[in-house]
Structure 1
């Protein structure tokens, strides 16, 4: 067995508290400009003791195959440590070692079977702590059509306290832009997979900037240098190092940092298959392993050497020897290093200081302020998709084609006109449905991220999205209806035109609500599309146009069919109950007796019932969507 030292220094670095003076404040200066101020009443000491996390893996099964019993797997196996204000902790380890899981647990975002103790200034995670914590995910979840400035300003308006004015929040966002070196791309859009925007490093700095806006005392970052070149990675970690030296507590996972980055870490935690192999000062890690007989044979990056050890690669290459090396490192940690970690946890070094008053509030801003910002942000982002060239051309081409097909039809060709109204109900049932189905699956990651940060009420988000989409969702059907109505030569009265337009827009809102409900409930674009197609086709088939004599046992579908009510109301907007048409040579028939119209009826109390039924569906579908969204994210408010 390799020998290991009895203890290793785990004392926090000197933060220079004696230099604070009576004001008890520190000003952090970046780029020769004072940007942010830290108050040490907001400093956080984090401690985690014997953190264990288990998951259950469901065995695969099928219709003809018996499902095996689920398997329980340990992801974290008793990880302990502590971090003081002014320190930056880097969690290293190979893929699957539990780095991200531990980071998520420390950030208060991990549910499930989590055991052990995690405290912040001696207290468990709370809503106040959430507002004082920044969390940067590995994937940059940003709106692609917003510029860098817009992204940070909207975040500032949502996350900074309501005691600040709008101008103060905008100025704060401008300061972060300057602080992170984003001035050159401030007016560039973020971009995405199919939309050219800022570079990967700039996108990562925008994500970090969103969290820095609240001036967090505790900042978590998951792989902040992933996919970046060494120079960009150096700039980002240097910024984080300066933040830590300014009094923040910074925790990050990092896969394979360069040697320059490694020596910037105040503390290092090395994990292997959920087991801690080392926790302590970064500049002492090589001495610790060298004293146990594990020293690099050639000059190399310390991070690469540590990853080799975590993978069980030292002097042997066989799987058996690798497992033995891993186990020896785990045993050495338990017998030699664990006691020093525990002694630091047991020391009375917690900063028992109350948090600022505004951070104890449940929400940073009022419901109305949240709604206002989300409404404006939503319109600015989604207008690009709603009014994209391809969608406008799609609607215009179909409208002109329909107008030419039904060119100047008259009531004597009643079948043609009835077919046009059914086409209205079908086309504007499917189109808004599929527009809305994709809304929440596409927004899920953003909603999860922002709700986990406690940025806004779910209700303010939902109302802002619902009302913000109204003008965009109603413009294209209005244009479509106006083109086809006059080309088809329908009734030339203002009452008929506007009542038909009202019915069509009413139907669009109902179909949109159904799409939102399906998307929120399923949260998978492919599955939601299939389900939406089946439901809407069922509505169309039961609407009374294709089949007038529907069997009783299935006729109930028409009472929940948006298409049936829309078709009925559109007919009522164009024809009177006693109106006639020429059904043969010198023969007039009542419109209401026409087979396709008689099946649904026109006029009377039926129209009122249809309006009420659609109003119920308009509200019900949105309530279902809202309830389904309550399971998205960490907080359920």
Structure 2
């Protein structure tokens, strides 16, 4: 498919691949049969942008794709062999152990990255392979290698349809057929070698020898090389009319001939609803997620951030005893604040960053949304829970909180519970907004509101706004943390006598009772926020079911 920018190449290709949403008119047929979902899952589609995980190697990328896309009629070892065969077929052997890389991470070259994208689709051995501008951004030599590879695949018995903006003459003569588009209209469809003769026959011939694709693009833009005074609109209308007069009838006859061919009734039945089971999808996605994000999750910067804050906090609250009850309460509230914001902002970026990958893989019917969601949220748990555990272990004993195992583990449990709930809120906000900057702003406002209503800063909250505390993660966590350290019946020295913890004003306003209710409320939030994130992913349309 050839044409200038905005001519409709990508739109048509995406529609043919069944990967465009919205209302479409007309019909799409594959070998004379309606293009169905099972057929679509056996069709390769390579997007213009290479959507790949930067930290995975070439082999890992293709092996994980094979394990997800190839059916269970093949064993795991056979799927891996398929991936290795594709690596050899596409000439990726020399870089198979190199990481893909990205804008700020050195990896394979642009041509190799494009071949990896093609390889992902070749794994399913598609009879139809669609590619959206596979030579975009590549130098002429690399583009020649990519198209030559596709030419060899086409000669091997596959149908390959690709869009291209401005191919060189070497590339143009590799194409068996060419479709020229202009503003959504077809100006030519037929043999590539016969294109120049056709345009000459209708009065449009180049005045000098030139690249056929350059000449055809000029015509598609309404620019003629002769001395005609016709404006661009007239030239385009003339070409559209000529196509309908000279080519449409021949094309219609070809299509009718295809429709009249005997059809294989069992063609659709070879494809199941999903190529693998839910558990297989979950385990492969989990392993892939851990491998890809191990560099980010276990980054030295993040670990140093938590350790530095933990040590500073421990020194500031060094060995504060029960006589410094206000200081201890301040530390407990700091726990809720720091471990509310930290996991929230880590989780907010989860789905916006993976939107393209999720859309690409789900559109090809690779896995269920539920298996992806569970694997994606589970893969982040180790670091999400290890860091707060280290933080509490350092600050708890340095600050002189109750030195018993029961109190320590109860405090740790509450804090980890808070981390999981805050993480769920971040996932929900990211999935709802799908814009990192907007989601971060919204998350800051919500978490700050929860903190202000938590019961530490303002103890005499006006009744008309006091309801916020009942939806505040901070309020329930703060209540549970105080319950992990104090009991109403316990006393502490005050003045010349002793006082009850339950009577201390800051504790009394929040209350040490209702611990079970607080746990139940956080449990509802834990499940509710994740369900909201899941349904938000379904709602925004990136996970359209196929």
**Counterpart-to-counterpart distance in 2, 1:366 and 1:121:** 30
Moved more, 402-411 or 432-441: 402-411
Aligned counterpart for 1:607 among listed residues 498, 502, 515: 515
Aligned counterpart for 1:508 among listed residues 415, 419, 425: 419
Shift of 1:576: 2.1
Residue matched to 2:466: 555
1:447-458 matches, cutoff 5 A: 447-458=358-369
Moved more, 255-264 or 447-456: 255-264
| Partner SS, residue 145 of structure 1 | coil
Residue matched to 1:463: 374
Aligned counterpart for 2:297 among listed residues 370, 386, 411: 386
Residue matched to 1:166: 76
| Partner SS, residue 113 of structure 1 | coil
The Cα offsets for residues 83-142 of structure 1, whole Å up to 9 and x where unpaired, read as xxxxxxxx0000000000000010011222311121112222222112210100001001
| 1:635 is the counterpart of 2:544 | yes
* 8 Å contact kept, 2:56–2:100: yes
Residue matched to 1:122: 32
**Counterpart-to-counterpart distance in 2, 1:574 and 1:351:** 79
TM-score (norm 2): 0.97
| 1:618 is the counterpart of 2:526 | yes
Moved more, 358-367 or 312-321: 312-321
| 1:229 is the counterpart of 2:135 | no
Shift of 1:397: 1.2
| 1:252 is the counterpart of 2:180 | no
Shift of 1:392: 1.2
* 8 Å contact kept, 2:38–2:268: no
Residue matched to 1:403: 314
| Partner SS, residue 92 of structure 1 | coil
Residue matched to 2:390: 479
| 1:446 is the counterpart of 2:357 | yes
| Partner SS, residue 268 of structure 1 | strand
The Cα offsets for residues 359-385 of structure 1, whole Å up to 9 and x where unpaired, read as 421110111111110111111112221
1:439–1:319 CA distance, 2 compared to 1 (3 A): farther
Moved more, 152-161 or 255-264: 255-264
Residue matched to 2:285: 374
| Partner SS, residue 362 of structure 1 | coil
| Partner SS, residue 45 of structure 2 | strand
* 8 Å contact kept, 1:219–1:248: yes
* 8 Å contact kept, 1:440–1:520: yes
**Counterpart-to-counterpart distance in 2, 1:358 and 1:193:** 42
Moved more, 94-103 or 198-207: 198-207
Residue matched to 2:113: 203
Aligned counterpart for 1:522 among listed residues 396, 410, 433: 433
The Cα offsets for residues 142-184 of structure 1, whole Å up to 9 and x where unpaired, read as 1111111100000000000111111101111011111111111
Moved more, 413-422 or 626-635: 626-635
| Partner SS, residue 437 of structure 2 | helix
Aligned counterpart for 1:337 among listed residues 237, 243, 247: 247
The structure where helix makes up a greater share of residues is 2
| 1:491 is the counterpart of 2:399 | no
* 8 Å contact kept, 1:161–1:358: no
| 1:312 is the counterpart of 2:225 | no
1:217-366 matches, cutoff 5 A: 217-315=127-225, 321-348=231-258, 350=261, 352-354=263-265, 359-366=270-277
The Cα offsets for residues 540-580 of structure 1, whole Å up to 9 and x where unpaired, read as 01111011111111111111111011111111111122222
The Cα RMSD (Å) is 1.6
Shift of 1:356: 5.6
* 8 Å contact kept, 2:207–2:225: no
| Partner SS, residue 432 of structure 1 | helix
| 1:190 is the counterpart of 2:190 | no
Shift of 1:351: 6.2
TM-score (norm 1): 0.83
